[in-house]
Every structure is written in C-alpha cells, then in structure tokens.
Structure 1
Amino acid sequence: MSEREVLHILGEKVGLGKSARVSFNVAKLHTQNSIDVPVIIERSKKPGPTVLITAGIHGDEVNGVEIVRQIIAKGINKPKKGTVICIPVINVFGFIHMDREFPDGRDLNRVFPGSKTGSLAGRVAHKLMTEIVPHADLVLDFHTGGSDRFNAAQIRIAKNQIILNELAEVFGAPLIYYSKNLNKSFRNSCYKQGLPMLLFEGGKSFHIDKTITNTGVNGTKRILHHLGMLGSKFKVSRPKKSCIRILDSKWVRANHSGMFKATVSVNTQVKKGKVLGHITDPYGSFNHFVKAPNDGYIFNVNESPIIYQGDAIFHISTKVES
C-alpha cells in the first residue's frame, strides 16, 4: 500500500477501506488521569476528499455535539469515497464540567493556531492544527449560541468566498450569515491555511433542539452527497425554504434590567416598530416594550428570563439578500 493510500494521523496508520478510533491526547487532569479525545475515522476503499467534522470547541455547546453524534450513529460518516474524520467533542474538559472555557479560563476558539509550549488551550489548538487539520480538504464545524441566546440555524462564512458560498448553498440552512473571520479563531486559522470551513450555528448552550439537530444532520448529508461521498442508502432532502443571506446586522440591547419575555421567535421577519418582547419588574411597576429598530429578520433571541441593562436580547438583520 502506497504512502498516499495510508492516512498517518496521531501516530496511527489507517488504510483505505479501514475504520479507526484514535486518541487525541490533550493533557492529564490534576489527578494524573489522562484525557483522550476520541477521533473517529472512516475511510472508503475508493480515494476521494477528506472531510473533517468537529463540534464541542466550547464545552457547553451540546447541540453541536449531538449533531456529530447522530452523524456517527447513523453511519453517515461512512463514505462511499474518500475519508470522514469526526471529533464530536474537542473541548472535553469543558464538556465534562458543562463549561464553555478550558480549565485555564481560556476560550479555545480565541487561541488558534496555538503553541506547542503555550497555555493548555493553546496546546490543544496547536495539536489540532498540526496533526489533524492538514489531512482535511473541508471542515464542518458545529456551534450553538451561548448565554441563553438561541441562534436560528445558520451557516457563517466570510464575504467574497466563492467556494464557501457554493457549499453554504448546498448545505441548505435557512440562513447564511456573512461575518468576518475572528482573529485567533479556528475558522480564521483554517482560512489562513487555505482550508475551507463551513461554521454552523444553531440553538443555545445546555440544550438540544430537534429542529436544529435535523438541520445540521441534513446539511451534512447534502454536503457529502455534493462531494460524491454519501452512502447510497441515505436520502437527501431539499431545504424547506429558500436561503436568506444576511449581509449586515445589529444587536438590540436591553435599555432596562428586569424580567424578560420575547414575543417573537427566530426566523421571524419583522417591520420597524414591531414589538419584539417585554421587560418588566417583579413588582408590576413597569412594562417596557422592546421594539424592532428596523425591518429585518430576527435570527437570535435571548431566552433568559432575567436580563440586565445592556444585555443583547435580539440579533436582527439590517441588510439581506434572498
């Protein structure tokens, strides 16, 4: 078997037509117990692209983990050509404790590409970028909203990326949100290496939503089908609605602290002045109406019952393309 037919990854050799579960050893706990992140590899006998599917960069984003879990459990990750590499939980430290960050207090998605001798989070980022990412031709990275903010299912890409535009259309999420690659993020590090990434956002932390999960799984099937990798036993559905492209947006922030209840849901198109929700106090002394500052689509709603002045409570588009 030639070198080209063998995948050398994390000290293991995986040939064409083989399956493997290898360990991405990140560190030891303070008790000296090892922490190993499982990496699930499925290879067809037929050569083809390599797709890396990841989730759990933030440990509290369980809906993304559930999407990748279903992809594995249903066998969607077993390609008819090429290779699929799945990492359901990158930040296993945070996942164990249901915490967004690493034990060192760092956000893993703000330390890429990391360093071999840096912080704990930085070392994990470095190992991911040097030992796994170089094997991939495409990355699908699954996230959810944080701090009780529920995200509509969306693909996030930077503007003027022809390949990503095409792939985002194929994925078929209800929204494509054009946003800049954040400095030191996983997405930006992949971009600098010339590796295309579709970043999926949907749902909120500590929560699994069936609609969001189905959107992520179905989108993955469409991508694999587009690449000629999806197994023949799987059906590919068409998106229920045409995709809305959000070119620009703004946050609606709370002008008052108090008890909060939204009266609109994500994926709602609203007119300027539409009442989006109410802020009240426990004593019935006031009732503040939150109104839409402009026409647009609501694609993030804060579902926390208690908010403080300045909190982001709605994300609304200011410029769209359909």
Structure 2
Amino acid sequence: MKDWKTQTWFGHDVDAGTHRNTELEITESYSGRNITIPIRVIRGVEPGPTVFVTGALHGDELNGTGAIRSLLANPEWGPVRGNVLAVPVLNILGFERHSRYLPDRRDLNRCFPGNASGSMATRMAKVIFDAIVLQSDYGIDLHTAAVRRTNYPNVRCDFKNQACKRLATAFGAGVVLDGRGPKGAFRREATAAGCPTIVVEGGEVWKVEPSVLECMTRGVVNVLKELDMMDGEPELPEHQVMLRQTKWVRAERGGFMDMHVSPGSTVVAGQPLATNSSLVHEEHNRLEAPFDGIVIGMSTLPAVQPGEPVIHLGKLSSPRRAKFVEKHTQADDMQRTTQEHLSTNIQVTEPMD
C-alpha cells in the first residue's frame, strides 16, 4: 500500500482527506498536442481501498458521465476511508465526436489491457489500464445501451468471482446479469488483472436521464458503503433478480413495430412483445416471448429489417416467478419510477386480437 498521508496520483501529490482535479495524458493529436482525460482524485482521511468509477468508455454513453458529475458537484462528497478515482469521460476522443468509437472506428472496450506498441486504440488502452486499473482495488464502469436502444438499469458481472458478485449485489440495481464480458472488455480484463470490476447499464446514448442517474449515483454510494469506505448501510431493494440467461428477440420481417412492452416489464411465455406491420398497417407478424422473463433492453427505433434485435429478455424460471418480480419491482420506488420514465421514450400499445 502507498504511504497514506500523501500519495502521488497522475504526477501530483494529494494529501489524505483532500481532493484534486488532474489529467491523464493518453495520446497525441495530429498536431502533436497532448490529449488528456480529466480525473478527480478524492482521498479519505483514513486508509482503505482504491475504487475507480468511469463513464463514457463508449463516447456517446453519457448517463454515467452525468452520474459522476452529480456526485462531484457536492464538494463534501467522498470516502471517509480509501480513494476514489472519478473519471467522467474515459473515451475523450469518442466523446468529442458524439461517437461510441474512436476516430479510427475501433471500440476502445475491446482493446484492453492494451499494447504499448500497437494501434492507437491499444496504446490508449495500455495507458488507461496501467494508470487507473492497476492502481485500483475495485472498479465501477457506467454504460448505457448502444445507439437506438435503451436498457433497464442492470449490473453485469462474473458470478463465479465472489468479489465481483459482492459489488454487483451491493450496487442495488433491480437486475443483475451473469457474464465475464467479451475478450478485451474493460471489466473482464480488469477483473482478470486482480481488480474486480462491474459494469452498470442503463438508459440511452446522448442524454442524461434523471431516473438512471439516480440509480447510478445511489449505486456508487452503495458500493463505497459496502467496502466500508463510507459510513452507513447500502440502500438495497427488497428483491434483486439474478439472471444467468438472456436472449434478443429479433424481427422476422421488415416493417414498423408496435411495441407491447417497455423496459423493466415482466412477461410470460407466449405473451405478445411487438407487432410488425407494413407502413399502411397491414399486419406481417407478431413477436412473442420465447420464455418467462423480464425486459432488460429494447430497440427505440420502430422501423426494422429481418434479423434486427427488438427486445432483450432475461429468462425467469416460471410465470409465478415473473409475477413475483413484477410485484417487487412495483413496490420499489426507484425501480418503479425508472420503469415509468423509460417507458415514455417508447410508444407502447395493446396488442390487437
């Protein structure tokens, strides 16, 4: 462990119990100028773990950026014990272009742990990984759905890693998904390097949604409380859904979709999810739930072609289980409010007989 009284972070000495805004140089521009990402180092008075909290690893996913900024807006906020490395925008090049990707169209979230002599993306990943991940004990990475989609807030982690599962449960989202993540993904490679990391998904690109922001800010505070970095107990829902299997229900025909469910809805096998019809409303086909489940993501673009993803379902064990989940979702103020807010971005209609 570094000396606690004064530590050096990103080239600056930061005393215990203080915070400092600094920057990390990640690459150079075409003109040879340094390109940096802003970071706030927040240090507790007492020793403890170091946790990084990152947003906009995909440069157009801004709910995490909004959540981190909301926490930083309070000058009194921070850990009593340990350090927080707050990074509102990790992919600054994508952020500047309102793009998920880097200028060379590479996905930074497939380039970790990086390569010091590789492509621009892998070089950036190497700098970020060495300077942030390898200096941290735990990580929280905040995301949204991809373009033209929305996600009901959920946490993703490797259930086989008990430290990750502990963080995911403590975060306090209503839905937790099992999975390591793809090769080269930030959270997978960070966890493999000894820094247990979770991913949080919620909402859409290009916006900061209040209900998603509230879920994310509460979740970050919950994790810090769970790690004894802040005083108090995590604020958890009465029930959390632990999902091991998910499936995208895809369009069978081209046309215009009338949605019958919204993010966070619970469904039973055979229940209508969406109806696909022509532009003059001649019915083509109806998409039905392949199993009992919960809607964890969906398209916000009603026009589809064959094979395009429409509804992302997490599998539940039975219709009884679906009713149980719905009951507890509606009983939790944050989940109910989030579900109501996200549903306003999608036109939901009753299926026609």
Q: What TM bracket, shorter-length normalisation?
A: over 0.9
SS of 2:48 mapped into structure 1: coil
Greater shift, 290-299 or 23-32, is seen at 23-32
The match for 1:18 is 18
How much is the aligned-residue C-alpha RMSD, in angstroms? 2.0
Contact 1:43/1:81, CA 8 A, preserved across alignment:
yes
SS of 1:122 mapped into structure 2: helix
Matches within 5 A, 1:27-66: 27-66=27-66
Aligned equivalent of 1:264, options 258, 261, 266: 261
The answer to whether the aligner puts 1:274 opposite 2:267 as a matched pair is: no
SS of 2:46 mapped into structure 1: coil
Contact 1:10/1:132, CA 8 A, preserved across alignment:
no
Q: Aligned partners of 1:145, 1:76: CA distance in 2, in Å? A: 31
Contact 2:275/2:283, CA 8 A, preserved across alignment:
no
Contact 1:152/1:299, CA 8 A, preserved across alignment:
yes
The match for 1:308 is 305
Q: Which amino acid aligns with 1:71?
A: L
The one-character-per-residue Cα deviations of 1:144-169 (angstroms, maximum 9, x if unpaired) are 11022211111101122222222222
Per-residue deviation at 1:287?
4.4
Per-residue deviation at 1:251?
1.1
Q: Which amino acid aligns with 1:302?
A: S
The match for 1:107 is 107
Contact 2:253/2:284, CA 8 A, preserved across alignment:
no
The match for 1:170 is 170
Q: Aligned partners of 1:48, 1:135: CA distance in 2, in Å? A: 13
The match for 1:285 is 282
Q: Aligned partners of 2:155, 2:68: CA distance in 1, in Å? A: 16
Q: Which amino acid aligns with 1:303?
A: T
Q: Aligned partners of 2:252, 2:3: CA distance in 1, in Å? A: 61
Query: Judging changes above 3 Å, is the alpha-carbon distance between structure 1 residues 8 and 134 closer, same or farther for their aligned structure 2 residues?
Result: farther
Q: Which amino acid aligns with 1:278?
A: T
Q: Aligned partners of 2:205, 2:114: CA distance in 1, in Å? A: 25
Matches within 5 A, 1:128-207: 128-207=128-207
SS of 1:150 mapped into structure 2: strand
Greater shift, 82-91 or 8-17, is seen at 8-17
The answer to whether the aligner puts 1:69 opposite 2:69 as a matched pair is: yes
Q: Aligned partners of 2:120, 2:198: CA distance in 1, in Å? A: 26
Q: Aligned partners of 1:223, 1:64: CA distance in 2, in Å? A: 15
Q: Aligned partners of 2:274, 2:130: CA distance in 1, in Å? A: 46
SS of 2:296 mapped into structure 1: strand
Q: Aligned partners of 2:233, 2:254: CA distance in 1, in Å? A: 46
Query: Judging changes above 3 Å, is the alpha-carbon distance between structure 1 residues 17 and 169 closer, same or farther for their aligned structure 2 residues?
Result: same
SS of 1:156 mapped into structure 2: strand
The answer to whether the aligner puts 1:251 opposite 2:248 as a matched pair is: yes
Q: TM-score, with normalisation over the residues of structure 2? A: 0.84
The one-character-per-residue Cα deviations of 1:11-42 (angstroms, maximum 9, x if unpaired) are 22323223211111122333444322111001
Query: Judging changes above 3 Å, is the alpha-carbon distance between structure 1 residues 204 and 224 closer, same or farther for their aligned structure 2 residues?
Result: same
Q: Which amino acid aligns with 1:280?
A: S
Q: Which amino acid aligns with 2:193?
A: Q
The match for 2:345 is none
SS of 2:144 mapped into structure 1: strand
Greater shift, 70-79 or 146-155, is seen at 70-79
Greater shift, 91-100 or 303-312, is seen at 303-312
The one-character-per-residue Cα deviations of 1:218-251 (angstroms, maximum 9, x if unpaired) are 1111111222223x6xx86733441001111111
> Where does structure 2 lack aligned partners over 5 or more consecutive residues?
326-353
The one-character-per-residue Cα deviations of 1:98-144 (angstroms, maximum 9, x if unpaired) are 10000121000001111112112111110011122222111011011
SS of 1:49 mapped into structure 2: strand
Per-residue deviation at 1:274?
0.9
Q: Aligned partners of 1:77, 1:195: CA distance in 2, in Å? A: 24
Greater shift, 161-170 or 37-46, is seen at 161-170
Query: Judging changes above 3 Å, is the alpha-carbon distance between structure 1 residues 237 and 228 closer, same or farther for their aligned structure 2 residues?
Result: closer
The match for 2:291 is 294
Identity of aligned residues (%): 27
Greater shift, 98-107 or 283-292, is seen at 283-292
